[in-house]
Structure 1
Amino acid sequence: MNSVFSVKFKVQTSDIDDLNHVNNVVYVKWMDEVAFEHWSFLTKDTPLPEYIWVVVRHEIDYLKQAVLGDEITVKTWVGETRGFTSARLMEFYKNDVLLVKAKTVWAMLDVKTYKPTRIRENVLKILQRPK
């Protein structure tokens, strides 16, 4: 497994739905925020402004609930990368309890044309960079 990057969230009132737990849409929002933070971390010394990433697929398994006030730790790492796509895996924990696991497939685009562009060695090295 590539290096794991972690981000913490505290469940806020705005994250809660009518069933008194974190709404599924909030997890998708957190997934986007964590992916952005991880990419920013990976590229802090070697910016790649010529590329942008867009989501092409989400797979999410909701295993347990999170409620108001819970401290959530999100762990993410880069999975299979080939062609112009790269998978990002995430796990959401409350303490040591796995709440949600997710996989997002991202496509790398050229920032000027918005067309898919092959992930070359320079980007692959950054995606696989240790924490």
Structure 2
Amino acid sequence: MENVPLPAFRFSRLLTVQADDIDELNHVNNVRYVQWVQDTAAAHWQAAAPPEAQQRYVWVVREHHIRYLHPALLSQQLRCTTWVSSMEGVTSHRHVRIERAEDNKLLCEAETHWILLDPGTMRPQRIPAEMARWVQEAV
């Protein structure tokens, strides 16, 4: 995973680690991080895209690359920050960083390739030029 700087056009949300996020090792389960990566991308899309566009397009994951750096523990507040570094053809390349909010310690970072689908046919479709403006501007 390359070290990609945070661009000005990023989206963040806060969450608090709950008891059902914790595994038998007494820290957040790795699968939960994957869910947070996807949920953060969805929250960004819902905040950035016009409502009518949200009906016209569907995003699916092609691949995730995730690096777990430090554990998150019960009741900690986490900041999930995402941005889209590129959109080309049918593919969007998105980054997510999950940090402990109290000290900004990086706990997890992910890169995800998303494919844009037509919801009627469920076939890939080219990303419209206007879409880059929606997700790459501050919301």
TM-score, normalised via structure 2 length: 0.89
Which residue pairs with 1:29 in the alignment? 35
Letter of the structure 1 residue corresponding to residue 112 of structure 2:
T
The C-alpha deviation readout for 1:66-106, integer Å capped at 9, x for no partner, is 01111111111111210100011010111310000001110
The answer to whether 1:111 aligns with 2:119 is yes
Which residue pairs with 1:47 in the alignment? 52
Which residue pairs with 2:44 in the alignment? 38
Q: CA deviation at 1:129?
A: 2.3
Structure 1 consecutive aligned stretches of length 4 or more whose deviation exceeds 4 Å: none
Matches within 5 A, 1:1-131: 1-43=7-49, 45=50, 47-48=52-53, 49-94=55-100, 95-131=103-139
Residues 2 and 79 in structure 1, CA contact (< 8 A), matched pair in contact too: no
Residues 11 and 138 in structure 2, CA contact (< 8 A), matched pair in contact too: no
Identify unmatched segments of 5+ residues in structure 2: 1-6
Aligned partners of 1:6, 1:128: CA distance in 2, in Å? 13
Aligned partners of 2:51, 2:130: CA distance in 1, in Å? 10
Residues 87 and 104 in structure 1, CA contact (< 8 A), matched pair in contact too: yes
TM-score, normalised via structure 1 length: 0.94
Root-mean-square deviation (CA, aligned residues, Å) is 1.2
Q: CA deviation at 1:46?
A: 5.4
Find the residue that maps to 1:88 and give its secondary structure. Answer: strand
Q: CA deviation at 1:64?
A: 0.5
Q: How high is the sequence identity, in percent, across the aligned residues? A: 38
Find the residue that maps to 1:47 and give its secondary structure. Answer: helix
Identify unmatched segments of 5+ residues in structure 1: none
Aligned partners of 1:11, 1:41: CA distance in 2, in Å? 23
